[in-house]
Amino acid sequence: MEDCIFCKIRKGEIPSQKVYEDDAMMIIKDIDPKAKNHFLCIPKNHFKLLSEMTEEDAAQLARCFKTIPALEKELGLEGGYRLIVNQGDNAGQSVFHLHIHILSGQKMGWTPA
């Protein structure tokens, strides 16, 4: 947890482009965008996998899914969007603090590789 990039961003120890924050989450611009608009919605609690969630973690995650569509304009989601939650090795998870990728602003294909 001490070495977690997203926990450091939450504590203000690493700069980020924050577009939204409340007691349950922060939404930042991804540093290496994979679509025209690419944000990350990060619950404030540190946990890696859906399978590891406590009830409180699950409540924060539910808040994330409720808040993202409410920020349609701010996040540029009007034309449709994709949410991705990478879990573990096969998915290529590289930051071990659960986060939701929010991709939008363009048509997207469907290729897992």
Which positions from 16 through 35 interact with ligand AMP, judged by CB under 6 A?
16, 28, 30-32
Residue among 92, 110, 111, 112 that touches ligand AMP (CB under 6 A): 92
- Please tell me the distance from the alpha carbon of residue 80 to that of residue 77, in angstroms, as a whole number: 5
Which positions from 37 through 76 interact with ligand AMP, judged by CB under 6 A?
40
**Beta carbon of residue 105, minimum distance to Zn ion (angstroms, whole number):** 27
Q: Does 47 bind Zn ion (CB under 5 A)?
A: no
8 A C-beta contact, residue 39 and residue 27: yes
Residue among 5, 7, 19, 58 that touches ligand AMP (CB under 6 A): 5
**Beta carbon of residue 27, minimum distance to ligand AMP (angstroms, whole number):** 11
- Active-site residue flag, 38: no
